[in-house]
Amino acid sequence: MAEQHWILLRGLCRESRHWGKFPQQMQKLLPDTRVSCIDLPGNGKRYQHPSPTSVNELINDLHRRHRPEQPVYLLGLSLGGMIAYHWMQEYPDDLRGVVMVNSSLSPWNPPHYRLQPGALPKLVRAMLTKGYPRERTIFDLTCASQRYRNESLSFWQMYQLEYPVSFNNFRRQLQLAIACSAQPYPPKKPVLLVSGGQDKLVNPYCSEQLASAWHSPHISHPDAGHDLPHDQPEWLIQQISQWLKE
């Protein structure tokens, strides 16, 4: 079997290291799989770069910097899923398929579904603070499972200290997310929609709406939150494996 290459894209103000052990788990449980993670401008190692507010500018940057030699799969969480969708539509020859986790796109998803009521003030308060309080708020907003809570918060605080995401880049990434909209024609590659039933950030019905509009498969874990790779990593990889077989 030929090797499958997956590229992973995180969401709002998160970096590659926030995937935790998920890339290694994916490589272990999916045979002949190689996994790479990308930091978007404004996050991680690229934290000093201004986050683009233009979808086309960002997609062209990703295509230029990470264009694969052979078509790859993209797995995008939240904003990462929106970006994966646009990458697929603009440069379909780069990709074999896309998995969108707890993602959303206008006009299929209304604004009050794309960002749950009450979530924005918590996000803003978090981004106006630093250290442990910021990461604790983000964890409580995005993770339903309490396993590895203390360990995760320790690492997340360390990431923030090393590569601090500015409030201005948070604002610009939020602006980018709002600008992400679906095109009137179907996705150019196979898409799997995945949602967490306990998502406090994005209404899980968004994934169901996109799946219905595109006639694409949709699966949901009733106990998972927004950061589904944290809450249910083995389950998510199992669903991806089944989707690849089908």
Q: Walk along the chain (246 residues) and give the pLDDT tens digit of each residue.
A: 568 999 999 999 999 999 999 999 999 999 899 999 999 999 999 999 999 999 999 999 999 998 888 999 999 999 999 999 999 999 999 999 999 999 999 999 999 999 998 999 999 999 999 999 999 999 999 999 998 899 999 999 999 999 999 999 999 999 999 999 999 899 999 999 999 999 999 999 999 999 999 999 999 999 999 999 999 999 999 999 999 998
Give Rg (Cα) of the chain. 17
Please check whether residue 6 is in contact with residue 34, taking contact to mean a CB–CB distance below 8 angstroms. Answer: yes
pLDDT attached to residue 67: 86
pLDDT attached to residue 69: 85
SS3 assignment, position 34: strand
In eight-state DSSP terms, residue 200 is: S
pLDDT attached to residue 170: 97
pLDDT attached to residue 205: 97
Q: What is the CATH number of domain 4-245?
A: 3.40.50.1820
pLDDT attached to residue 101: 98
pLDDT attached to residue 3: 81
pLDDT attached to residue 147: 86
* CA-wise closest residue to 58 among 36, 91, 34: 91
Q: Tokens 């899923």 correspond to what residue?
A: 81
pLDDT attached to residue 2: 67
pLDDT attached to residue 235: 98
CA angle 30, 145, 45 (to 5 degrees): 65
CA distance 28 to 23: 9
pLDDT attached to residue 155: 97
pLDDT attached to residue 237: 98
SS3 assignment, position 5: strand
pLDDT attached to residue 98: 98
pLDDT attached to residue 68: 84
CA distances from 143 to 173, 229, 239 (A): 20, 10, 19
